Structure 1
Amino acid sequence: MIDLTLIPKVAYDEMNAVHAEEVELLNNIENLLENSAPPEQINVAVDLLLDHTREHFANEERLMQEINFPAFRMHKHEHDRVLTEFQYVILDWRNKKDNSILEEYLTSDIPAWLHQHISSMDTVTAQFIAMSKKDI
């Protein structure tokens, strides 16, 4: 399980709230996997996480565009890369019906990526957003 207190905080509260929601969704899936939930239940939880992630990234990208964030393309590229990777993992899991595929990705790869991404790209982005919002 991801300990929310260990997730870095950024200078824009809206982003922190979205990150907390994402951690909750990830922890829910981990709980389902640990308790051998039926594939249908895991599938619903995975779809919720995927939808949330798409919305999370789209909102963040909209904010970056509104303030003309200089590193928009680089940040968006990283979002696109992770979404594509996540979709491939889901497809692989659905085809092979092997929970270890999903478990490895969502309990190891994504938490590590999330921490790194928030610590770097999101921290800089949030500072820029916070400064820009003060000027409005």
Structure 2
Amino acid sequence: MKELKLIKKENHLLNYEVMDNLHMEFIDIYNSVDINSNESIKSKAMALLVHSKNHFMKEEKLMDSAKYPRVREHKNEHNKLIAELEFFIDKSVSVFGMNILKSFYLEKLPYWFHYHLLNMDSDLTGHLKTSKLTQHKKKLEVN
């Protein structure tokens, strides 16, 4: 039987409060599943879907406001995860579909989360921090 490999919070901090808070919420939901309960897996997958839609909306507002240059690629990654979550949740009405959702939950979600944060979100936070610093410097120059 597969086991839940917990996502460790301390390995997923970007030192950007808004995004760190959103990521901690994702981790809390993900880690709270009872992997031996199909009902729990489906419930947590649905909770992650709701969370992710809100999470991505907030993150995408940050991207737009900071004129993030890789916004299209980043949003595409968000849209892909939402579509996959919806697909696997919808298919979970059959035994086979439930097994696929369980595999997706155990294998793909933590992998996606880790690499999305490492590649996409870390790049975004770097841009946000630089953008904020540039705006602060411009304000100082005006005064």
The Cα of 1:5 is off from its aligned counterpart by: 4.0
Q: How far apart, CA to CA, are the structure 1 residues paired with 2:112 and 2:29?
A: 16
Q: Find the counterpart in structure 2 of residue 48 from structure 1.
A: 47
- Relative to its length, the structure with more helix (as a share) is 1
- Could you tell me which of 93, 96, 120 is aligned with 2:94? 96
Q: How far apart, CA to CA, are the structure 2 residues paired with 1:114 and 1:7?
A: 11
- Say what the alpha-carbon RMSD is for the aligned residues: 1.9
Query: 5+ unaligned residues in a row in structure 2: which ranges?
Result: 137-143
Residue 131 (structure 1) aligned with residue 135 (structure 2): no
Q: Alignment length, in residue pairs?
A: 130
C-alpha distance after superposition, 1:66-87 (max 9, x if no partner): 0110000110011111110111
Question: Normalising by structure 2, what TM-score?
Answer: 0.80
The Cα of 1:132 is off from its aligned counterpart by: 1.9
Contact 1:10–1:16 under 8 Å retained in 2:
yes
1:1-136 alignment, distance < 5 Å: 1-5=5-9, 7-29=11-33, 31=34, 33-34=35-36, 36=37, 39=39, 42-93=41-92, 95-98=93-96, 99-134=98-133, 135-136=135-136
Contact 2:9–2:24 under 8 Å retained in 1:
no
Percent identity among equivalent residues? 26
